Amino acid sequence: MNRLARIVALGLVLVAPGLLVAQSTEDHGEVGAFADYFRFTPGSSTTNFVGVGGRLGINVHPNIALEGEMNYDFRRNFTNTFNNGFTTAFVTTSVRPLTGLFGPRIYAGASGPVRVFVTGKVGFINFDETATGVISGTTFTSAVNGVGGSGTHVAFYPGGGIEGFIGRVGLRLEAGDEIYLNNGTFNNLRVTFGPHIRF
């Protein structure tokens, strides 16, 4: 029995370095940060938001990753053209969207430094809003009528993109349609760009 234990131990010592090298080169997932552009179009008006976010993806197959992400967009100004077609006003909206999404990312190719992918995610968008600082004579609700007040709404995100890596570090560009439901369906362009690290 002692001899069998020594042979097993010797075998583990010989095999272990190979297992460790294989483990270190295997991709388990990605973590990244990104800058976010969100073209918010709740009705006849449009507001362009810029924010920041982060995401974490875990590979469940060489071509499929499950990914969660969250981003925060800062408040911005927008221009509203009234019925006469000549009057334009700059109004502080005081809307700050917070978005959380989760879903699969599917790669067109499993290996290589550059990969193209599609994604479909589901989650929420939360609008934090206040009337503080709004120009007198206007109301926040009429200025951004699609929000309907602060609250959380179901969101869907179909999109796609491209990512390129040099070793473990890379850049990712993604674009899609962030759809939220609030007494109707509202489509909004969303573009993200930022660094990613494979682990």
pTM (2 decimals)? 0.72
Q: Residue 157 to residues 18, 69, 103: CA-CA distances in angstroms?
A: 41, 11, 9
191 membership: H or E segment, kind and range:
strand 185-198
CATH number of the domain where residue 128 is located: 2.40.160.20
Q: What percent of the chain has pLDDT over 70?
A: 64
pLDDT in tens, 106-120: 998 767 789 999 999
For residue 8, being part of any structural domain is answered with no
For residue 36, being part of any structural domain is answered with yes
Higher pLDDT, 176 or 186: 176
User: Residue 49: is its pLDDT beyond 70?
Assistant: yes
Question: Measured between alpha carbons, how far is 163 from 198 in angstroms, rounded to an integer?
Answer: 11
125 membership: H or E segment, kind and range:
strand 114-129
Can you tell me the mean pLDDT for 140-144? 42
For residue 174, being part of any structural domain is answered with yes
Question: Measured between alpha carbons, how far is 147 from 95 in angstroms, rounded to an integer?
Answer: 9
For residue 67, being part of any structural domain is answered with yes
For residue 177, being part of any structural domain is answered with yes
For residue 119, being part of any structural domain is answered with yes
Per-residue pLDDT band for 139 (boundaries 50, 70, 90) equals very low
Residue 157 half-sphere exposure, CB side, CA atoms within 13 Å? 32
Per-residue pLDDT band for 92 (boundaries 50, 70, 90) equals low
Q: What percent of the chain has pLDDT over 90?
A: 43
C-alpha triplet 137, 143, 144: angle, nearest 5°: 155
Cβ-count burial 59-73 (b if 16+ within 10 Å, e if not): beeebebbbebebbb
How far does CA 98 lie from the centroid of its chain? Answer: 11
Can you tell me the mean pLDDT for 80-106? 73
Per-residue pLDDT band for 27 (boundaries 50, 70, 90) equals confident
Higher pLDDT, 146 or 36: 36
- Residue 24 has what pLDDT? 42
Q: How many structural domains comprise the chain? A: 1
For residue 84, being part of any structural domain is answered with yes
For residue 192, being part of any structural domain is answered with yes
Domain hosting residue 189, numbered range: 27-198
